[in-house]
Amino acid sequence: MNNGKVLFVFMVIASFVRLDKITIDMETVTKNIATTSERIQRLWQLVGNTPMLELHYQYKGKPGRIFVKCEHYNLTGSIKDRMALYILHKAYENGSIQPTDVIIEATSGNTGISFAAIGKAMGHEVNIIMPNWLSKERMDIIRGFGARIITVSKEEGGFLGSIRLSENMAADGDVFLPQQFSNCFNAEAHERTTGPEIYFQLQQIGLLPDAFVAGVGTGGTVMGIGQYLRGENPAITIHPLEPSESPTLTTGYKTGSHRIQGISDEFIPSIVQLDQLDETVQASDGDAIIMAQKLSAELGLAVGISSGANVVGAIKLAEKLGSDSVVVTILPDSNKNI
């Protein structure tokens, strides 16, 4: 980060905000869950309504602050739980999934973990297709939730090959494809949950967000949260983030390799509408790794590399917008999922 030293302190700025109307009868928690709707209701108690922190830091000798939403507090340790549960929730509502269907998804990591856990909790068999160069730790977590993993090499098409394989497997029927990169419910999950939580948590301390930045994997986070926050504050700027080593959003195609798993997956997903977003922010993978380590070692925030990238991007934005600006980002994942 241009040799700027970053020193942190943090404070909790808002308590949990319960935004949905899901209720639960505590007397029946230990009983067998009879219906799909009951399973979904109970899973929503474990996903979302995460805390927000205000991080204070010194960068290039100047004080600054940013606001971070702690999505590593979700069920499996990542923001992808919101999208996975919401997509399955809507699929059951509209009848596009059956209780006996196999869930098959192409993913670069956290989405696979989320669908493995939530799909199994809903009673489904789950197959996860992923490039074979992703971390063994992520694969072990997915297998630990009982899902089957199918790996695809670069010679077999890499990530795009994983998507093609999932579509081919679905042709035999009795399969549900979440299709995270093109499913409109991906972004809607964040427009309906994460965005409102951010807005109301800031509102509790009398603030409005001036800017939001988040790394782009599927694009659901930045598009959905951006949609909601723009509705509340039209002056806000919404910034996608990409690795400086692989500026896919800037160039329109894969240009290099990087170490921030889960973002910049070789192509620009159809969910991402760049004409609705503001300037793309870049973070190097080296800075992202160091930042994730600092957040863990200095603040006890057990977050992953993509969280480090988002914090780097937020600090850059705050430097540009001024010390009084309210810049918000996401800590999307736990360091246990690396």
| pLDDT digit string, tens, across residues 42-97 | 999 999 999 999 999 999 889 999 999 999 999 999 999 999 999 999 999 999 99
Is residue 80 part of the annotated active site? The answer reads yes
Beta partners for residue 69, in sequence order: 52, 330
pLDDT at residue number 229: 98
Res 124 pLDDT > 70: yes
Which positions ≥6 away from 10 have C-beta within 8 Å?
A: 53, 54, 55, 56, 299, 301
Measured CA to CA, the distance from residue 67 to residue 215 in angstroms comes to 15
Q: Which residue among 306, 307, 316, 334 is the active-site one?
A: 306
pLDDT at residue number 109: 78
* Full-model pTM: 0.87
Measured CA to CA, the distance from residue 90 to residue 81 in angstroms comes to 14
Res 125 pLDDT > 60: yes
Q: Which domains does the chain have, with CATH numbers?
A: 6-20+49-72+207-337 (3.40.50.1100)
- Name the residue with higher pLDDT: 128 or 9: 128
Identify the band that residue 135 occupies on the pLDDT scale cut at 50, 70 and 90: confident
State which H helix or E strand residue 89 sits in: helix 80-94
pLDDT at residue number 256: 67
Mean pLDDT of 109-126: 94
Res 260 pLDDT > 70: no
- Name the residue with higher pLDDT: 321 or 2: 321
pLDDT at residue number 23: 45
Measured CA to CA, the distance from residue 31 to residue 145 in angstroms comes to 22
Is residue 69 part of the annotated active site? The answer reads no
DSSP annotation string for 286-335: HHHHHHHHHHHHHH---B-HHHHHHHHHHHHHHHHH-TT--EEEEE-BBG
Q: Which residue among 69, 78, 80, 166 is the active-site one?
A: 80
